[in-house]
A and B are shown apart, each in its own frame.
Chain A
Amino acid sequence: MSETLKRTPLYDRHVALGARMVPFGGWDMPVQYSGIIDEHNAVRKAAGLFDISHMGEFEVRGPDALAFLQHVVTSDVSQIGEGQASYALLCHPNGGIIDDLFIYRQPDGYMIVANASNIEKDFAWLLEQVVGFDVALTNISDQTAMLALQGPLSESILARATDTNVIDLPFHGITTGTLFGSIPAQIARTGYAGEDGFELFVANEHIEQVWDSLLALGKDDGLKPCGLGARDSLRFEACLALYGHEIADDINPYEAKLGWVVKLNKGPFIGSEALKQIKEAGVTRKLVGFEMVGRGIARGEYEIHNTAGERVGYVTTGMPSPTLGKNLGLGYVPLELTKEGSEFDVIVRGKPVRARVVKTPFYQPRYKK
């Protein structure tokens, strides 16, 4: 195993729990503990705890923090109320997606959460754009640990771990509080599983205690440690995009069905000219969800052919859905194949296997709103 892989502060805990460790975005991360399906079901029915300390966190402070964020992301950051958070996209001037982010509004500024594999790319990009803005930009990724507590029982588990009123914390809300009496934490009602749940930001030195205490506290509720395998299958069923798959530098938000994150009326921002033109001209390909009709499992990068046998697109993510019991996939196809019921072939090991476009999300998220 490569020496250069980074480890989260919970690495020893994962190994002790018998997790299978795999390289992911430069990190040595747990892909599973008890098994992907078991962990997946725990999150849908009870709760799961994920170490997502590999994710990047940047602080944006200073008088121009809002103006700067309005300049670099596609969403309207002025609409994020105090104690609220919002999904956003960072785009190239040509409209291609650099990364997807979560922006949390804090009392003294903003915190950005970015994908682990994009931390350096995003931070360098933001530093290039900051010229002319009175903003302090700090990459706090290496000091900040992050956990995701996800699933229908996560609220009742977390309520027993903190004096902070998490029951009334709204969807996409964030608050400062303490965990287990004295550990400072930022608690947000956000996640990536299509369930109610929370994300917790804690300094590295306290994270082992929080991890151990939460697992002990939730044991009788069915709380399980969960790896990146279940994180992927859960977000896939809810059709939440993953950088490097549904979104990438050569994919624009309209193709990715993320037009709702692009607010062209908020004023100019990086990529706004190109995105306006793309929106007016219309896209030629779009992300669709599909179900395999024939026997076979679609996987990322498999080719998609039309029924005449011509290569017309590709799969971004595919797997057997643990919750729905079907072989499902997401992929890019030309507009004429995006209608529900449209059929095409996924090329599985050289053989065409029929697939049919279905409604997305495959699994309707059950957020507490």
Chain B
Amino acid sequence: MSNKPYLNFQAKVLIPVFTLSILFLGIILWLVSRHLTAQLEEDAKQLLTTSEAVFRDSYEIRTRNLLLRYQNVVNEPRFKAVAQLAEPKTMTMLLSELLIEMGPDTEVLLYTPAGNIFSSAAKREQNLNLQEFKSRSSVSIEDALRRQIGADTIAVEQRLFNVISVPVVVSENPAGILTIGVRVGSQAAQEFKLLTRSEIAVVVKNAVAVSTLKDPKFYPQLITKFQQLSGSQTAEIVTPDGERFLCMAGRFSHSSSNIGYLILSSYEKALHEQKVMQERLTLLSLIGILLCSLLIWVLIRRITRPLRELRNSVEAVGRGDFSQRIEIHSNDEYGELATVFNQMMENLNASQAEIQHTLQRLKSTQDQLVQTEKLSAIGKFVAGVAHELNNPLTGVIGFSEMLQDTGINEHQQNYLNRIIDSAERCHRIVQSLLSFSRRRRPERTSVNINQLIESTVEIFKYELPVNNIEVTSDFGSDLPALLIDPHQIQLVFLNILNNARQAIELRQTRGVIHIITELIEGHVRISFCDNGPGIPTENLLQIFDPFFTTKSVGEGTGLGLSLSYGIIREHDGTIIAKNNNGKGVTFIIDLPVVSIKAEHEAVKTMPAAMVKMEQASANKILVIDDEENILELIKEALAVYGYNVETVCDGESAMRAVNNQSYDLIICDWKIPGIGGQSIYERLREMNPRALEKFFFITGDILGENAEKFLRVEKKICLFKPFSIEQFRTTVQEVLHSNSDPSDLTTT
């Protein structure tokens, strides 16, 4: 993670877009405004120039119109008559009348007779200085005297006049000049303003004579501007009252007097319009930008919606919720992303399930391991106990048998038989304990499992119908032959059937046991399904534990199912028990199908060659055992047949004895405290290999794999305790008479 601040997509897109838009808007507005202002000024200048031209033109036309209007006044007979009369008062009277007739714009009528003897005048405004008017009109009058029509613009006391001077001719002789003064007043200025839409100010002697700008407070500014501009044709901006005008100055060309004019063209309105337009443009653009931004925001929100959903989903996955899926809204990159995510989730789910499955298997394996360990520990314990019991049992059985031959009465014989029976029973218990400890490898052979089951059921042929128990079967027809120890597997079946039978007969009057065999994925599954009372769930986990039983004391050892478990495990199979949905228990045994060749190590069984016991011809036999009882028994049993038996109880004594003399037969216990049977054998072999030609072991224990291997290599046999005297003697005979190759001999 970088330390940059978190910015979502909206911000990332909107900020630059917004900024750029505003920037561009600003630049464009600035450019447009600059251009428009320049255009505006140009237009105003153009307008001003046009206005000035129009002003000059209209002034010209006005003058011409005045000429046309007044040039015929002098041709009127009464005017001519009065002119001829050359009487000032009459002329004055006439002029007054004419003034009334001519209309309000005619301000002054001045008649100057030839010779300038007197002059008559009529004026509309009484306070007008006629003398000044006359002197100002002199230029025009002089023009008229030269028989031209004189026209001029004059100012009298800040009043502006158009003057027209017309020569009066009476009888072909010049009689005088009629000068007409027409006021150029605010009405004319207003007319001009209407015509050109420009303001005008006429400046006379540094004062404003006529102006369309009414407020006199602007006049000083106008005069200053006029003084600046007069003579030049440039236009400048003047702002009376804050309103912007472009103005231009000019002079009436008729005289050199200081009468001029200022034409002012206001572009304030245009400026205002421009400003308004600019504001509208800005507002519209801003609204547009805002709308666009809003649109972009909405769009991005829509676009990033699947992204946010993905984030939420991934978060949920992070919390361990693997069921999250993204809805696919669109058929685009997001759609692909969603598809891929969903695919990933599928895979994750699958692997999760697999892990769960594996974990479960691991757990069950661990359980089995624990079970195995338990069994193994108990096995060791049991083996130890059994070994310890075997030696005394050998004594009990041996001496009891020997006692039988001592001519006891029938009553005693009866007791003795009971002792022997009890000892035999002890022997069987020890035997079963020992076989439970599984020191023996299963002796495997190819077996048809269906036949094996049938033969097992055959054993209960009479027992089951008596208890109203029916056995039904559903055997798979194409099952391969299994490489198993039929005796051990049969024991398992017997255990199961027996348990079922006992459970059913204990609780109900009739029952059914259904047996199914089938081939499932390289395993043959054998299911025993009964409709008995079932096993309480809390017991279901313990039924394979050794010594676990629900039966009353004496009815079961609690080793049956534990033993069965051991056997099936030994066959690399599994056995489980589960309660049926309705009623009863199903035991399911899976046994692997193994190629027959691979494990074909069938141990050859050989019928024991029963050699007739013959008198020993004083053969010397050395017996090595730590048990005094055993040594005594063997000595007694063999001495009867004339064998010369020497006994030693440890390895050292054995070495010495073998060193001192040779023996026809050496019998050695497998377990000697301190050194052990195998070591004694090896040391004796080092000392005198020949002495070991006739040699066998006895043991109260079960042999481990290493021991069995050792025996096979050395071609020696081992007789298991407790043995009967008869058995022992036969073995001695066989070993003695074998041709130093007792490998075919074996014991059970």
A binds B: no
